[in-house]
Structure 1
Amino acid sequence: MSTRLELIAGAFRAGAALALSEPEILGLPQLIRAGDVCFDIGAAYGMYTYPLAALVGPAGQVHSFEPLPNPYRILAAGCRVAAAPRIRATNAALGPEPGAERMTLPFRFGLPIHGWAHLRTGQQRPGRHVSFSSAKTLTVEVRGVDEYCAAAGIDRVAFMKVDVEGFEARVLEGAAEIIGRDRPSLLLEIEDRHLDKYGMRSEDLVEPLLGSGYLMYAWSRRGWARVRAVTTARRNYLFAEEGRLTGRPGWSRCRP
Structure 2
Amino acid sequence: MSNSLKPDATDATHSPPNTPELERLRRVWETLGRDDPLWAVLSHRDKRGRRWDLDEFLATGSLEVDAQLAVLSARGYPRGRALALDFGCGAGRLTRALAAHFERAIGVDVSSTMVETARRLNADVANVEFRRNASARIEGIADASVDFVFSHITLQHIPADLAAGYVDEFFRILAPGGVAAFQFVDSHDDSLRGRLFGVASNRWLNPLRRILWRSRDVFEMHALAERRLHALLAWRPQLRLLDAIDDGAAGPGWRGRRWIVANDEAAPVRVDRTGYALYADPRDEHIGAPLLAGAAHDPHVLAVLQERLREGDVMLDVGANIGAIALPAASLVGPRGRVIAVEPIAANRVLLARAAQYAGFRQVEVVAAAAADHDGEIVLRTHPSTSNSATPPASGERLAAPEGASVRVRARALDGLFADLARLDLVKIDVEGMEPFVLRGMAGLLRRFRPAVLTEFHPWAIERATGTSPEDYLAGLFALHAVAEVLHRDGTRERCTDPAAVMAAWRRVNDAAGLAGRVHLDLLFAG
TM-score computed with the length of structure 1 as normaliser: 0.77
- Hey, what does 1:114 align to over in structure 2? 387
Show structure 2 runs of 5+ residues with no match. 1-271, 279-286, 510-519
Letter in 2 for 1:137: S
2:417 is the alignment partner of 1:148: yes
- Hey, what does 2:360 align to over in structure 1? 83
Instruction: Report if aligned partners of 1:41, 1:163 keep a CA contact under 8 Å in 2.
Output: yes
3-state DSSP of counterpart to 1:114: strand
Letter in 1 for 2:344: P
Percent of pairs identical after alignment?
25
- Hey, what does 1:57 align to over in structure 2? 334
2:343 is the alignment partner of 1:66: yes
Map residues 180-199 of structure 1 onto 2, 5 A cutoff. 180-197=447-464, 198-199=466-467
2:21 is the alignment partner of 1:21: no
Which has the larger share of helix?
A: 2
Map residues 1-256 of structure 1 onto 2, 5 A cutoff. 6-8=275-277, 20-22=296-298, 23-105=300-382, 107=383, 111-115=384-388, 117-119=389-391, 126-127=393-394, 130=397, 132-134=400-402, 135-150=404-419, 153-197=420-464, 198-220=466-488, 225-227=494-496, 228-230=501-503, 231=506, 233=509, 235-241=521-527
Letter in 2 for 1:201: S
3-state DSSP of counterpart to 2:408: strand
Letter in 2 for 1:8: A
What is the CA–CA distance in structure 2 between the aligned matches of 1:196 and 1:52, rounded to whole Å?
A: 30
Instruction: Report if aligned partners of 1:94, 1:143 keep a CA contact under 8 Å in 2.
Output: yes
Show structure 1 runs of 5+ residues with no match. 121-125, 242-256
Q: CA deviation at 1:192?
A: 1.7
Q: CA deviation at 1:222?
A: 6.1
Instruction: Summarize the Cα distance change of 1:139–1:86 in structure 2 as closer, same or farther, 3 Å threshold.
Output: same
3-state DSSP of counterpart to 1:236: strand
Q: How many residues align?
A: 221
What is the CA–CA distance in structure 2 between the aligned matches of 1:38 and 1:195, rounded to whole Å?
A: 23
What is the CA–CA distance in structure 2 between the aligned matches of 1:21 and 1:34, rounded to whole Å?
A: 22
- Hey, what does 2:154 align to over in structure 1? none
Instruction: Report if aligned partners of 2:451, 2:526 keep a CA contact under 8 Å in 1.
Output: yes
Letter in 1 for 2:446: I
Q: CA deviation at 1:59?
A: 0.9
Instruction: Report if aligned partners of 2:276, 2:355 keep a CA contact under 8 Å in 1.
Output: no
Please identify the structure whose Cα radius of gyration is greater. Answer: 2
- Larger mean CA deviation between 60-69 and 203-212 belongs to 203-212
Q: CA deviation at 1:90?
A: 1.6
- Hey, what does 1:244 align to over in structure 2? none
Letter in 1 for 2:442: A
What RMSD, in angstroms, separates the aligned Cα atoms of the two structures?
2.6
What is the CA–CA distance in structure 2 between the aligned matches of 1:222 and 1:104, rounded to whole Å?
A: 32
Letter in 2 for 1:192: P
Q: CA deviation at 1:93?
A: 1.0
Instruction: Summarize the Cα distance change of 1:133–1:212 in structure 2 as closer, same or farther, 3 Å threshold.
Output: closer
- Larger mean CA deviation between 178-187 and 213-222 belongs to 213-222
Q: CA deviation at 1:45?
A: 0.7
What is the CA–CA distance in structure 2 between the aligned matches of 1:101 and 1:63, rounded to whole Å?
A: 21
What is the CA–CA distance in structure 1 between the aligned matches of 2:394 and 2:445, rounded to whole Å?
A: 30
Q: CA deviation at 1:114?
A: 3.4
TM-score computed with the length of structure 2 as normaliser: 0.39
- Larger mean CA deviation between 141-150 and 171-180 belongs to 141-150
